[in-house]
Amino acid sequence: MFRLKWFQKAIAEATGPIRTVFSVVSGVWKLAVELGVVSGENPVSTIKRPRIDNQRNRFFTKAEAVALLSILKNNSADTHDVALLSLFSGLRIGECLSLTWADINLEEGRIFVKDTKNKRNRHAYITAEIREMLTGRYQRQTKAERIFGRGKPLPLATTTRKQFNQAVNDLGFNDGIIDRRQKLVFHSLRHTFASWLVQMGKPLYTVSRLMGHSSIKMTERYAHLAPETQRAAAMELEGILDKA
C-alpha cells in the first residue's frame, strides 16, 4: 500500500512525463528485486535523465500583494504576519517560523537568520512594515520564545501554507493555470522580494546576499527583470572620450 501511494504521488508531482517513467520503472525494479522476482542492475540506473527547469518565474504584482495581505489579515493574523515578513525580507517560511525574539534587533533594524537551508547565517533588515508587525506581536515574551506560535515549525508551516493557498484560491490568482511553475505559492513571496528589488535596479550581488544564495548564479535568474538598468549602466560611457 505504501509503495502504491508513492507511485501515485510520483506521477502526480513529477516535473515531466519522461522523468515520471524513469521513476516508476526504477521503483518497480527495486520492488521486484526485494521480492526476488528479478536480479541484476536497475535498467535505468545508467541512463541520464533529462533535466527540466523547475524554477518558478511568476511573482506577485503590487496589487496582488495588497489584496493577498488584506484577505489574510481578515482570515488569519498569524499567516498574514508570516507572509508580510517573507515578502519584505525574503525569508523562507522555515526561517520565518524559526525566529525567536532574541534574533530581532529593533534598534539596529536587523534580523539574525540562522540555521538556514545552505547552512550560512545572514542578516535580514526591518522595514517599516516589518517593524509595525513585530511591535504589534510583542507582548513581553522572553527572548527564547519564537515569534510565530509555540508549536513545532513543521506543523506550523503546513498550517500556514494551507491558509495561504486558500487565500490565493479565494482571490483566483491561480485560476486556469496548469503549469505548477506559474502558480503562486508561499515561496512566491520570497521570489517577489528579489524580483521587486531587481526591478528597482538593485545589484544582483546585493540581492544575492539578502536572499542567502550560495552562488550568484542562483540570483542571475532575475537579471532579465532589469534590462533598462543594464542599458543605463552601459550608456554611462557615452561621450566619455569627448569629456577627456
pLDDT digits (tens, 9 = 90+) for 123-182: 999 999 999 999 999 888 888 999 997 766 778 899 999 999 999 999 999 999 988 889
Whether 87 and 189 have beta carbons less than 8 Å apart is answered as yes
- Structure pTM? 0.74
In which band, very low, low, confident or very high, does the pLDDT at 9 lie, cut at 50, 70 and 90? Answer: very low
Instruction: Tell me the residue ranges of DSSP E strands in 17-156.
Output: 104-105, 110-113, 122-125
In which band, very low, low, confident or very high, does the pLDDT at 112 lie, cut at 50, 70 and 90? Answer: very high
Query: What was the pLDDT predicted at 180?
Result: 85
For residue 92, the SS3 value is: coil
pLDDT at residue 29 tops 90: no
| Dihedral sign for Cα atoms in the order 60, 190, 211, 88 | positive
- Residue 27, CB half-sphere, CA atoms under 13 Å: how many? 16
pLDDT digits (tens, 9 = 90+) for 216-242: 888 888 888 887 777 777 888 888 888
Boundaries of CATH 1.10.443.10 in the chain?
62-228
CATH of domain 62-228: 1.10.443.10
Whether 37 and 166 have beta carbons less than 8 Å apart is answered as no
Amino acid (1-letter code) at residue 91: L
- Residue 198 to residue 63: CA distance in whole angstroms: 18
Say if strands 104-105 and 110-113 run parallel, antiparallel, or are unpaired.
Answer: antiparallel
